[in-house]
Structure 1
Amino acid sequence: MNILERYIWKSVLSSILITWLALLLLDRFFALLAEFGDTSPDTHYGSLQAVYYILMGVPRFMYDYFPTATLIGSLLGLGNLAANSELTAMRAAGVSIRQIVMMTLKLGLVLVLLVFVLGEWIAPRTELAASSFKLQMQQKQLAVSEQGVWVKDGDRILNIAKLWSEKKLEGISVYTINPEAGRIDSITHAVSAERDTSGWTLHEVERKTILADSIQQEKLAQEHTDKLLPEQVLTIAAVKPNQLAASELASFIRHQRDNELSSDRFEQAFWQHFTTPLSTLVMLIIAAPFVFSFQRNAGAGQRIFIGIIIGIVFFLFNRILANVGIVYGIPPLLSATLPLLVFLVGGVWMLRRVH
């Protein structure tokens, strides 16, 4: 049985990897063509920078496309075994459909762990690095480093360690420059800043004012200011939910709830960290009925077509329900897991009808 299991794993896994690579190459090729439209001689963002940006985004798209690659790849892998009558021989030798499906699901569990690692620790960081790189190349008043975002705004230079959203900042430092004297007039540090309709509220503020013969220090629990950052900087530099790991999302969600602020987009992204890897198993379950029933004698082209159609339907259902959930107040956990549950129930139902 171990030899048989390894043989099935090899057939299915090789097909999944080939499909995964094909989807990535196709997507990145068209993404690169579109990215060339953002290059400009007036900035440092040229063709080489566009290629680097596209390559840095590969882990994110590896993560997003993996469920679809699993579906198409498993259809091809198991379908090839069926076309060569190998599945028929296995069943004649006493191996049931249930056992074959369980063998593929064991492979799925390994893939789930690998995809979870990719989505939790690799994809968010590379995507954040890619967007930071592009931002730095295109915006002359911005610079991004390991210390956060640096912004030049008139006679002020600001450093934000974490720009969570357009309403929440963390680790703010403001350096006020005196251009005539050629020196720094004051340095203001704040642990965090929150935005409301009246402006920004800075928390745990510490200010050092540099005088001619001394330094004056001042500490405030809170301080209000009408303007902290240029509006366009907030729009383009704010961290996106898919650029955060699940642990970072959980921290941000707690903060939003403690302050009675909306966190639906971030909750949606949090649950997708778990539903996306699990959808790999669901895709394997869905593939089995097509192979063991009316897809037994189908060609590779038909299997690819069916896999693409199901993958597109799942992708669209997932995206539409996520957006509808945010607009109409559907609980993020429900809107994130409902597509997975619907396809799981459908896959199990079809599998039970296979004999």
Structure 2
Amino acid sequence: MNFLERYLWKSVLTSILITWLSLALLDRFFAFLSEMGDVSPETQYGNLQALYYTLMGTPKILYDYFPTVTLIGSLLGLGNLAANSELTAMRAAGVSIRQIVVMTLKLGLALAIVVFVLGEWIAPRTELAASSFKLRMQQKQLAIGNQGVWVKDGNRILNIATLWSANKMEGVSIYAINPEEGRIESITHAARAERDADGWMLYDLKRQTIRADGVTQEVLEQVHQTDLIPEQVMSIAAVKPNQLAASQLADYIQHQHDNALSSAHFEQAFWQHFTTPLSTLVMLVLAAPFVFGFQRNSGAGQRIFIGILIGIGFFLFNRTLGSIGIVYGVPPLLSATLPLLIFLVGGLWMLRGIR
């Protein structure tokens, strides 16, 4: 049984990896062609920079595609075994369909852990690094990274540790530069900043003014400022839930709850960090009926076509239900898990009639 399990894993895993690589290369090729429209001789963003930016987005694409990749790859891997009568030989040796499905699910569990790590620690970091790199090369005076948002606005450089929303920031640091001498003339730190009708109110402010004869400090409870940060910067640097790790999303959700604000988008993205890896197992369950049932004699082209159709259907249904859930107030946990449950029930129902 261990030998058969390893052989089955090797066949399915090879097909999944080949499919994963093929789809990623195809996507990145068209993404690179799209980036050519942003290449400009007036900035530092050239062809090599566009290629680097495109490659940095690969982990996120790998993460998003993995459920579909798992379905297509498992259809190909198991289908090739069925076409060569190897699955028939396994069953003749006393291995049931249920045991074969359980073997593939063990592989799926290992892959789900890998995908979770990819979506939690790797993809969000590369997305931030790619966005910051492109903005820097395009000389847009904005950088986004692990140390928050950095903005250059005239003779000021701002660092925002946490940008909760378009109306609230925490950990705001303002470095004022003397343009004639090229040195920092003051450093201002504010614990938080909140937008009002006339601008921004900075709270718990500490300011250090640097002069030739020394440094003076002042502490202020609150200060109002009308031009703290350019409006267009807020739209660029706004938090995108699908680019955050689950731990970061949990912080944002707690903040929204504490301030009686809507957190539906953040909760939806949070639960998808767990449903996306689990969908790997569902895709493996869905593949089994098509291999052991009415598609056992179909060619590789037919299996790929079926896998693409089901994968696209799952992707669209997942996105549509998530959007509908946010609009109509459906609990984010339900809208995130319902597509998974529906496709799982469908796969198990199709398996029931197969012997």
User: Which bin holds the TM-score, normalised by the shorter protein?
Assistant: over 0.9
CA distance in 2: counterparts of 1:97 and 1:35, whole angstroms: 47
Identify which range, 331-340 or 186-195, moves more after superposition: 186-195
Question: Equivalent residue for 2:203?
Answer: 203
Alignment of 1:55-74 (within 5 A): 55-74=55-74
Question: Equivalent residue for 1:241?
Answer: 241
Identify which range, 174-183 or 331-340, moves more after superposition: 174-183
Q: Does 1:304 align with 2:304?
A: yes
Post-superposition Cα deviations, 1:55-106, rounded to whole Å, max 9, x if no partner, equal 1111111111111110000001111111111111211222111111000000
TM superposition shift of 1:185: 4.2
Matched letter for residue 6 of structure 2: R
CA distance in 2: counterparts of 1:126 and 1:139, whole angstroms: 20
CA distance in 2: counterparts of 1:257 and 1:69, whole angstroms: 36
Is the 1:192–1:202 Cα contact (8 Å) retained in structure 2?
yes
Task: Give the secondary-structure state (helix, strand or coil) at the position aligned to 1:204.
Answer: strand
Is the 2:128–2:145 Cα contact (8 Å) retained in structure 1?
no
Question: Equivalent residue for 1:134?
Answer: 134
Question: Equivalent residue for 1:294?
Answer: 294
Is the 1:136–1:144 Cα contact (8 Å) retained in structure 2?
no
CA distance in 2: counterparts of 1:185 and 1:173, whole angstroms: 14
**Structure 1 pair 255/306, CA: closer, same or farther in 2 (3 Å)?**
same
Task: Give the secondary-structure state (helix, strand or coil) at the position aligned to 2:204.
Answer: strand
Is the 1:286–1:344 Cα contact (8 Å) retained in structure 2?
yes
**Structure 1 pair 18/212, CA: closer, same or farther in 2 (3 Å)?**
closer
CA distance in 2: counterparts of 1:60 and 1:334, whole angstroms: 24
Question: Equivalent residue for 2:330?
Answer: 330
Question: Equivalent residue for 1:218?
Answer: 218
The CA RMSD over aligned residues, in Å, is 1.9
CA distance in 1: counterparts of 2:192 and 2:215, whole angstroms: 24
Question: Equivalent residue for 2:108?
Answer: 108
Is the 1:135–1:237 Cα contact (8 Å) retained in structure 2?
no
Question: Equivalent residue for 2:173?
Answer: 173
**Structure 1 pair 36/121, CA: closer, same or farther in 2 (3 Å)?**
same
Question: Equivalent residue for 1:259?
Answer: 259
Q: Return 5+ residue gaps in structure 1 as ranges.
A: none
> Aligned residue pairs: how many?
355
Question: Equivalent residue for 2:122?
Answer: 122
CA distance in 1: counterparts of 2:188 and 2:90, whole angstroms: 72
Post-superposition Cα deviations, 1:97-132, rounded to whole Å, max 9, x if no partner, equal 111100000001100111111111111101110011
CA distance in 1: counterparts of 2:124 and 2:183, whole angstroms: 38
Task: Give the secondary-structure state (helix, strand or coil) at the position aligned to 2:354.
Answer: coil
Is the 2:128–2:144 Cα contact (8 Å) retained in structure 1?
no
CA distance in 2: counterparts of 1:163 and 1:42, whole angstroms: 30
CA distance in 2: counterparts of 1:145 and 1:92, whole angstroms: 57
Matched letter for residue 332 of structure 1: P
CA distance in 1: counterparts of 2:16 and 2:180, whole angstroms: 64
CA distance in 2: counterparts of 1:167 and 1:179, whole angstroms: 30
Task: Give the secondary-structure state (helix, strand or coil) at the position aligned to 1:283.
Answer: helix
Post-superposition Cα deviations, 1:144-166, rounded to whole Å, max 9, x if no partner, equal 56644332223322122343443
Post-superposition Cα deviations, 1:168-226, rounded to whole Å, max 9, x if no partner, equal 33321112344467654432101333335553333332122346755442223444433
Matched letter for residue 201 of structure 1: M
Matched letter for residue 44 of structure 1: Q
Q: Return 5+ residue gaps in structure 2 as ranges.
A: none
Matched letter for residue 208 of structure 2: K
TM superposition shift of 1:280: 0.2
Task: Give the secondary-structure state (helix, strand or coil) at the position aligned to 1:99.
Answer: helix
Question: Equivalent residue for 1:319?
Answer: 319
**Structure 1 pair 341/220, CA: closer, same or farther in 2 (3 Å)?**
farther
CA distance in 2: counterparts of 1:18 and 1:329, whole angstroms: 40
Question: Equivalent residue for 1:80?
Answer: 80
TM-score normalised by L of structure 2: 0.94
Q: Does 1:40 align with 2:21?
A: no
Identify which range, 286-295 or 327-336, moves more after superposition: 327-336
Matched letter for residue 354 of structure 2: V
Task: Give the secondary-structure state (helix, strand or coil) at the position aligned to 1:176.
Answer: strand
Is the 1:147–1:161 Cα contact (8 Å) retained in structure 2?
yes
* Structure 1 residue ranges, 4+ long, deviating more than 6 angstroms after superposition: none
TM superposition shift of 1:330: 2.0
